[in-house]
Structure 1
Amino acid sequence: MKIKTLLYSIFFSILISQSYAQKTRVKAADKKYDQYIYVDAILTYERVAEKGYKDEKMFQKLGNAYYFNAELAKAEKWYRELFKMNQEQEAEYYYRYSQTLKSIGEYKKSDEMMKEFNRRSGNDQRGKLFADQKNYLEEIKANSRRYDVTDAGINSKYSDYGSSFLRNKLVFASARDTTGAYKVSKWTNQSYTNLYSSEIKPSGEMEKPERFSKIINSKFHESTPVFTKDGKTMFFTRNNYLNGKKGKNSENSTLLKLYKAVLVGDEWTNVTELPFNSNEYSVAHPALSVDEKTLYFASDMPGTLGQSDLFSVKINGDSNYGIPVNLGKNINTEGRETFPFISADNELYFASDGRPGLGGLDIFMSRAGIENRFEEVKNIGEPINGPQDDFAFIIDSKTKSGFFTSNRNGGKGYDDIYHFKEVRVCEQSLSGIITDQESGVVLYGSKVSLFNEQFDLIKETLTNENGVYVFEVECGKVYYVRAQKEEYETKEGKITIDDTTGKSELSLELEQRIKPVGEGTDLAKTLNIPIIYFDLDKSFIRKDAAFELEKILAVMLQYPEMKIDVRSHTDSRQTNKYNENLSERRAKSTMTWLIQNGIEARRLTSKGYGETELVNQCSDGVKCSESEHQANRRSEFIIVRTE
């Protein structure tokens, strides 16, 4: 009995000791997790989990640790264990689990998690986007296969990412330099990144990467540079580090800031911190507008809608900047929007995990519209986007080639840089019919010109016997079509071509400059002159009416034998007699104005019709709006003789 009791005592002591040790390890891992030391936390959590120890908070943090390190397939395993243990989780865990499910191709289950996320999250933009784009996979499929993707040929077994063009070179961030223990990031257990450059040969092959600049590269992170077109100014991301000192926020973490440097001779120098940086939030990943007057970047500064948003700031001079402006809900979500890039075609490319995609960060595109407001956001599809993180997209609009970063399977390192070439798998034709605006007759031989968004002339053609023109155009582009024909007014139209193979149409109706007129014709209608309006109970000529009467005057001066009968009408308010007298005064007032401006009295007659010829239903006793009544207060100019 004593021996049995002793054995039980030893057994329970061992259990208590193991349980206490496991809890101690978890507590230590929690501390590392809270300090963003995710790799060390992962190792500790997994060792504990392998021994069968289960804890809801531990599964949350283990899943998060992999999620935040972009290892989504591994994160899925622990989120799955979390939901097995308890499905009553905060809405954000439904979103993260949905994202990780995509990474292993479980799109149906991922959509189920998104539906539940949308139900639980309320007004979250990510849920709304999912609900509004239920066929998002079909849309992504339609946008896919536009690019050929290959390894860039500059990758290492470490992290390589965030590239930028500098003349004939590619400048990018890499963790390949492992010299010195101080160079290791506790977050990823890899070296801090430095900038490297590689020459792009005319064949497209890449030279061996070389360190970019000793002045720019520090002993902490440098990444994501962008250069002005002249190659003399650069903006880049760096840890909060300047003049040999590392800055920290109130939670003792070192965040990211933007810096500027200028090229003096062959050396990059004058490294300065941008004024809208802060020790309390990160500012990173710069991009320049086409005119280089606006800087775009990612940040979690106050006013951010999600985990990180895209912002813009005006560049007013060498060291003068405006106030950062959030790009708003058309671009940003409650998720991560990051790594912006502006192409020469004024297209914004960026990475987001807040929109319906294929998993992790996907690359999206939005064109700049009126006043540079960004329009509909589209997923650029496979093979650039996939189940893992895809980001840092850049493209040379002339060569239709570029680079992006991904941690997809089959790469050499943690992140790898890939080269792509845009191929024409999307084919579009633009056609239309040119017709006479009034008669609808097709206009054979009309000259039709095609312009791009910058109004550069691209092509010209003539309409065939059916009034039809046809152009071959590029998918997703904005074009202007101009139609011209003798004796007609020139007319233009704008069209945005779809991103999928098909046919686009834009027809134009041309207005005749020289129009036939005959007796009984209303000259105002022939010339498309708006109705000559009078104020209520008034017969004097308004300023806007005088402007229109000038057109009547010009025609009568051009044709000295033309005679016109001026006819004035009123609305139904007031008595019939009153309206008859009012319209008579208005007709005479109009005729008097024409006589005073050079038209002989013999060429004019006038008559007031009161309310006898209403143009709508607004007769006595019928309730009408002011605009409906005003339509009846009008003058007409009927030709009674042309020669």
Structure 2
Amino acid sequence: MKNKAILFISFLSALTFNGLAQNAGIKKADKQYAKYAYIDATQTYERVANKGYKSADMFQKLGNAYYFNADLTKAAKWYGELFAMNTEVEPEYYYRYAQSLKGIGDYKKADEMMRQFNQKAGEDLRGKIFKDKQYYMDEITANSGRYKIEDAGINSKYSDYGSAFSGNMLVFASSRDTGSLAQKKHKWTNQYFTGLYSAEQSTDGALGLADKYAKQINSKFHESTPVFSKDGKTMYFTRNNFNNGTKGKDANRVTLLKIYKATLKDGVWQNVTELPFNSDSYSAAHPMLSPDEKTLYFASDMPGTKGQSDLWKVAITGEDSYGTPENLGSINTEGKETFPLVTDENELYFASDGHPGLGGLDIFMSRMNADGSLQEPINIGAPANSPQDDFAYLIDTKTRKGFLSSNREGGMGYDDIYKFVETRKLVCEQTLSGIVTDLETGEILPNTKVTLFDEKFNKIKEVVSDDKGFYDFGTVECGKVYYVRAEKDPYETKEQRLTISKQTGKTDLPIQLEKKVKPVTVGDDLAKAFGIKIIYFDLDKWNIRPDAALELEKILDVMKQYPNMKIDVRSHTDSRQTHKYNEKLSDRRAKSTIAWLIKNGVDESRLTGKGYGETKLVNRCADGVQCSEDEHQANRRSEFIITAL
């Protein structure tokens, strides 16, 4: 049965066992202004860098500061320093450096940077389906085991398939013989032509006895795959090219498939009309309404079709008027794509034998983007899919219960309807949001522009934080790498990299922005303005290392800007070693720090200092307390307390 024709483009193939076919500024008062010194961190970083100090992080910040402000000349300078360090940088910096180089007319070097960018970022580019999907079985395995499936309880020894919800009824196609002796049979299969049947569905999901549905709709040929409007008064369905007693044929005298519409009046289905985009020369079948009922999806081999049958859509522009059918594009293959279903979760389910699957027709799902474009199809896995034909997927997104059709082994007839419960959603869903605040004060920052980029720094979405500082990007893809950039004057632009969890849930990304101009006053720790927690010394040493000198340059730069500023240097240790040892060691380190500042131009009268050893721990890690290395490290710190301005 696996090899039988499935779209059923022609009348003959329509009559196979499957019947018709598988479906943020700073607030400050004037009276406070004189009490503060305002430090431009970017300028300090630049002056420090111009003295020859090197730091990849510092060069990145400087390059970004000018790049984001479109000063490409300075951006090129600092990105150039970054690359001259020969450190590993993210691919995006190759792109930014290239753009900055173009800004100064260095196209040759810019082109080289772009070539390297493409080499480093090109691994994620997709090729053809076969190349992309050479490990498709791994995907199917990962997606499997999400359904509990069983016989729907309405099957016969004939073909039963293609179901639709209509109120508390399940309507489907069947070729069972419940008709008169004059009921016509197809000579290939010796089965009766399919007609519409229905079964009542109880609150627990059980189906009652099947009976003929809308007898006035059923003809002596095939009817199948109905779909109903929400008010239950309009039905679209598939039928052979036959209406009002007249059978239509193509040039080869073959009767094809068409989509019809009927209306319910006084409890009777009537006014059966074919849709205007039908033709005697091609088939159109398996209609499906979008949730807003403004678009009709269907399968067809009409001109413009890529394969044996493609999925199409057409706008419903009025009661009996329609737009021009549009091919759904990228999801269609040279094979068969058929039996569409569009859910209220912006998902398109369909059956295909053109995408890698388990065999025959497999059921796939493609997410629908806001602009109507479709994402790469995903095989929904076993046991929803089998080595045979699996199609006509139908789901209630609220209960996660539904039906599908299949001719898999173990069924009652040629095609059977199976009911299922989806125990885990196919696509992991994560939402990304957070609150933007001031790093120092914790004050919420409304009206902050927050932008979401993918891992290649393609802009995805831009939002503005509300009056509570809250921003929300909505749904993002699980397991993906994103970059979030927050911008608000007079704060430093901040960019964060994050990887979304692979489990459905919510990602909370708080953003703390640091002011470009940093207010400090008497009693403040100047080190905090630059995030200086530790001035590192070698074991049992107190000489200033190069990396410590980089941090001290920031303090030195500020003291040169404010000649009346006085600083008390306070050095601390953790509790490991004796109290006396730690007191002497920290005192030597405080004096060494003071000596460095004096040597580099700070008047001795502006500096005081002392070592406090382990007497002023910032946490619980006293003698005898077991602590982690990070906890001990928090106590090994240097403070630069402002004593005068």
Q: TM-score, normalised by structure 2?
A: 0.52
Counterpart AA for 2:246: K
User: Structure 1 residues 427 and 396 mapped into 2: Cα distance closer, same or farther (>3 Å)?
Assistant: closer
Secondary structure, aligned partner of 1:371: coil
Q: Distance in 2 between matches of 1:342 and 1:35?
A: 26
User: Which residues of 2 match residues 407-426 of structure 1 at below 5 A?
Assistant: 407-424=407-424
User: Structure 1 residues 197 and 232 mapped into 2: Cα distance closer, same or farther (>3 Å)?
Assistant: same
Q: Distance in 1 between matches of 2:430 and 2:390?
A: 33
Secondary structure, aligned partner of 1:304: coil
Counterpart AA for 1:307: Q
Displacement of 1:275 after TM fit? 0.4
Hey, what does 1:381 align to over in structure 2? 381
Hey, what does 1:343 align to over in structure 2? 343
**Is structure 2 residue 198 aligned with structure 1 residue 197?**
yes
Hey, what does 1:208 align to over in structure 2? 209
Hey, what does 1:21 align to over in structure 2? none
Hey, what does 1:163 align to over in structure 2? 163
Spell out, residue by residue over 1:545-581, the C-alpha distance to the aligned partner (whole angstroms, 9 max, x if none).
xxxxxxxxxxxxxxxxxxxxxxxxxxxxxxxxxxxxx
User: Which residues of 2 match residues 613-632 of structure 1 at below 5 A?
Assistant: none
User: Which residues of 2 match residues 94-133 of structure 1 at below 5 A?
Assistant: 128-133=128-133
C-alpha contact 1:38 1:188 (8 A) present in aligned 2: no
User: Structure 1 residues 130 and 246 mapped into 2: Cα distance closer, same or farther (>3 Å)?
Assistant: same
Hey, what does 2:268 align to over in structure 1? 267
Spell out, residue by residue over 1:323-350, the C-alpha distance to the aligned partner (whole angstroms, 9 max, x if none).
111111x210000000001112121100
User: Which residues of 2 match residues 153-552 of structure 1 at below 5 A?
Assistant: 153-177=153-177, 179-180=180-181, 183-328=184-329, 330-424=330-424, 501=503, 505=507, 507=509, 509=511
Displacement of 1:510 after TM fit? 5.5
Counterpart AA for 1:189: N
Displacement of 1:130 after TM fit? 2.2
User: Structure 1 residues 488 and 348 mapped into 2: Cα distance closer, same or farther (>3 Å)?
Assistant: farther
Q: Distance in 2 between matches of 1:150 and 1:324?
A: 37
Displacement of 1:314 after TM fit? 0.6
User: Structure 1 residues 434 and 231 mapped into 2: Cα distance closer, same or farther (>3 Å)?
Assistant: closer
Displacement of 1:250 after TM fit? 1.1
C-alpha contact 1:435 1:442 (8 A) present in aligned 2: no
Displacement of 1:36 after TM fit? 7.5
User: Structure 1 residues 290 and 429 mapped into 2: Cα distance closer, same or farther (>3 Å)?
Assistant: closer
Secondary structure, aligned partner of 1:394: strand
User: Structure 1 residues 67 and 209 mapped into 2: Cα distance closer, same or farther (>3 Å)?
Assistant: closer
Counterpart AA for 1:407: N
Spell out, residue by residue over 1:368-406, the C-alpha distance to the aligned partner (whole angstroms, 9 max, x if none).
102211112111111100100000001111111111100
Where relative contact order (Cα < 8 A, 6+ residues apart) is larger, the structure is 2
User: Structure 1 residues 264 and 473 mapped into 2: Cα distance closer, same or farther (>3 Å)?
Assistant: same
Displacement of 1:283 after TM fit? 0.4
User: Structure 1 residues 343 and 68 mapped into 2: Cα distance closer, same or farther (>3 Å)?
Assistant: closer
- Percentage identity across aligned positions? 55
C-alpha contact 1:160 1:416 (8 A) present in aligned 2: yes
Secondary structure, aligned partner of 1:374: coil
C-alpha contact 2:14 2:21 (8 A) present in aligned 1: no
User: Structure 1 residues 241 and 67 mapped into 2: Cα distance closer, same or farther (>3 Å)?
Assistant: closer
User: Structure 1 residues 515 and 132 mapped into 2: Cα distance closer, same or farther (>3 Å)?
Assistant: closer
What stretches of structure 1 of length at least 5 have no aligned partner? 1-33, 41-64, 72-126, 448-461, 520-643
Counterpart AA for 1:389: D
* Higher mean C-alpha displacement, 424-433 vs 316-325: 424-433
Hey, what does 1:536 align to over in structure 2? none
CA RMSD of aligned residues (A): 5.0
What stretches of structure 2 of length at least 5 have no aligned partner? 1-8, 23-126, 447-467, 521-645
Q: Distance in 2 between matches of 1:67 and 1:400?
A: 26
Q: Distance in 2 between matches of 1:335 and 1:260?
A: 28
Spell out, residue by residue over 1:558-615, the C-alpha distance to the aligned partner (whole angstroms, 9 max, x if none).
xxxxxxxxxxxxxxxxxxxxxxxxxxxxxxxxxxxxxxxxxxxxxxxxxxxxxxxxxx
Counterpart AA for 2:348: L
Counterpart AA for 2:384: I
Secondary structure, aligned partner of 1:376: coil
Hey, what does 2:142 align to over in structure 1? 142
Q: Distance in 2 between matches of 1:161 and 1:229?
A: 22
Q: Distance in 1 between matches of 2:152 and 2:195?
A: 18
User: Structure 1 residues 276 and 187 mapped into 2: Cα distance closer, same or farther (>3 Å)?
Assistant: farther
User: Structure 1 residues 236 and 496 mapped into 2: Cα distance closer, same or farther (>3 Å)?
Assistant: farther
Q: Distance in 2 between matches of 1:443 and 1:228?
A: 52
User: Structure 1 residues 343 and 475 mapped into 2: Cα distance closer, same or farther (>3 Å)?
Assistant: farther
Displacement of 1:220 after TM fit? 0.6
Q: Distance in 1 between matches of 2:305 and 2:407?
A: 26
User: Structure 1 residues 305 and 187 mapped into 2: Cα distance closer, same or farther (>3 Å)?
Assistant: farther
Displacement of 1:249 after TM fit? 1.1
Q: Distance in 2 between matches of 1:130 and 1:67?
A: 28
Q: Distance in 1 between matches of 2:328 and 2:229?
A: 22
C-alpha contact 1:432 1:505 (8 A) present in aligned 2: yes
Counterpart AA for 1:384: A
Structure that is richer in helix per residue: 1
C-alpha contact 1:333 1:355 (8 A) present in aligned 2: yes
Counterpart AA for 1:261: A
Counterpart AA for 2:396: D
User: Structure 1 residues 324 and 201 mapped into 2: Cα distance closer, same or farther (>3 Å)?
Assistant: same
Displacement of 1:253 after TM fit? 1.1
Spell out, residue by residue over 1:163-206, the C-alpha distance to the aligned partner (whole angstroms, 9 max, x if none).
00111111100001264466112343311111011111001110
Counterpart AA for 1:208: L
Counterpart AA for 1:357: G
User: Structure 1 residues 130 and 258 mapped into 2: Cα distance closer, same or farther (>3 Å)?
Assistant: same
Displacement of 1:444 after TM fit? 9.9
Counterpart AA for 1:283: A
User: Structure 1 residues 39 and 69 mapped into 2: Cα distance closer, same or farther (>3 Å)?
Assistant: closer
C-alpha contact 1:428 1:497 (8 A) present in aligned 2: no
Secondary structure, aligned partner of 2:227: strand
Q: Distance in 2 between matches of 1:496 and 1:200?
A: 44
Hey, what does 2:72 align to over in structure 1? none
User: Structure 1 residues 202 and 67 mapped into 2: Cα distance closer, same or farther (>3 Å)?
Assistant: closer
Spell out, residue by residue over 1:62-104, the C-alpha distance to the aligned partner (whole angstroms, 9 max, x if none).
xxx9999999xxxxxxxxxxxxxxxxxxxxxxxxxxxxxxxxx
Q: Distance in 2 between matches of 1:289 and 1:482?
A: 36
Q: Distance in 1 between matches of 2:267 and 2:400?
A: 30
Secondary structure, aligned partner of 1:142: helix
Secondary structure, aligned partner of 1:370: coil
Q: Distance in 1 between matches of 2:499 and 2:164?
A: 29
User: Which residues of 2 match residues 33-72 of structure 1 at below 5 A?
Assistant: none
Counterpart AA for 2:410: G
User: Structure 1 residues 409 and 139 mapped into 2: Cα distance closer, same or farther (>3 Å)?
Assistant: same
